[in-house]
Structure 1
Amino acid sequence: MHIRAACKNDIEGIAKVHVDSWQETYKGIIPDQFLESLTYESREKGWKELVADPSQDILVVENNEGKIVGFVSGAIQEDKRPLVGELKAIYLLKKDCGKGIGRQFVRVLFSRLKAKGCETIYVEVLAENDACRFYEKLNAKWHATTSIAIAGKLLRLYVYKWESVDLEI
Structure 2
Amino acid sequence: MSSIQVRPATLRDAKAIAQIHTVSAQEAYKGLVPDEQLKSMSSVEKRQAYWREAIEYCEPQVQVAVDGEKIVGFVGYDRSRDEKSRPTTGEIWAIYA
Shorter chain as denominator, the TM-score bin is 0.7 to 0.9
Q: How many residue pairs align between the two structures? A: 91
Where 1:12 maps in the other structure, the secondary structure is helix
User: 1:9-64: CA deviations, max 9, x gaps?
Assistant: 10010000010111111112232212222111111111111111234221111123
Q: Which has the higher contact order (CA 8 A, sep 6+)?
A: 2
CA RMSD, 1 decimal: 1.8
In structure 2, the gaps of 5 or more residues are: none
In structure 1, the gaps of 5 or more residues are: 93-169
Contact kept in structure 1, 2:80 and 2:87, CA below 8 Å:
no
The amino acid across from 1:90 in the alignment is I
User: 1:69-128: CA deviations, max 9, x gaps?
Assistant: 111111103754452211111011xxxxxxxxxxxxxxxxxxxxxxxxxxxxxxxxxxxx
Q: TM-score, normalised by structure 1?
A: 0.49
Asked which structure has the greater CA Rg, the reply is 1
Alignment of 1:1-169 (within 5 A): 1-37=4-40, 38-64=42-68, 66-77=69-80, 80-92=85-97
The amino acid across from 2:49 in the alignment is K
Q: TM-score, normalised by structure 2?
A: 0.81
> Aligned partners of 2:46, 2:87: CA distance in 1, in Å?
35
